[in-house]
């Protein structure tokens, strides 16, 4: 009978250690993943900005006039991170290559008419 009790205690200890290891690994992954959750990726910022441009502004606003919350690709903490900036980063357009060209290209990329 002593062997049955010993086996049960050993199994319980092994299970508790396994749960502890998995909990520790889960905590490490969740803390690493949550660090970047406050900032938008370029793709998400572009998508959100296009939705604002198309559905809210009916394509009547310049992309530089649509500010995107939580979009800070250069991590400088300043405002001015707009749909125009998301377009520049997504498509590789020059930053000051001419407002008319890049603005109309950005609008067209969002589905607005030319």
Strand partners, 82: 67
Q: Residue ranges per domain, the chain?
A: 2-36, 42-109
CA separation, residue 70 to residues 39, 55, 60, 103, 105 (Å) = 5, 20, 23, 21, 24
**Cβ(97)–Cβ(112) below 8 Å:** no
In this predicted structure, what is the pLDDT of residue 88?
Answer: 85
Give the integer Cα–Cα distance in Å for 67 and 4. Answer: 68
CA distance to 21, 60, 69, per residue, from 44 (Å): 34, 21, 11
Give the pLDDT of residue 111.
Answer: 92
pLDDT tens for each residue of the chain, 114 residues long: 455 566 688 888 898 999 999 888 887 777 655 545 455 788 888 999 999 999 999 999 999 899 888 888 877 777 658 898 888 888 876 555 454 457 888 899 999 988
Indicate whether this model's pTM tops 0.75: no
- Which phi-psi region, left, alpha or beta, contains residue 59 (left: φ > 0; alpha: ψ -120 to 50)? left
């Amino acid at each position: 009978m002593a062997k049955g009790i010993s086996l049960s205690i050993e199994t319980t200890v092994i299970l508790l250690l396994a749960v502890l290891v998995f909990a520790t690994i889960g905590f490490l992954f969740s803390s690493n993943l949550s660090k970047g959750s406050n900032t938008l990726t370029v793709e998400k910022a572009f998508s959100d900005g296009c939705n604002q441009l198309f559905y809210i502004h009916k394509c009547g606003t310049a992309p530089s006039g649509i500010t995107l919350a939580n979009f800070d690709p250069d991590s400088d903490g300043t405002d001015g991170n707009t749909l125009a900036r998301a377009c520049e980063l997504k498509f590789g357009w020059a930053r000051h290559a001419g407002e008319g060209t890049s603005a109309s290209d950005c609008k067209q990329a969002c589905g607005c008419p030319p």
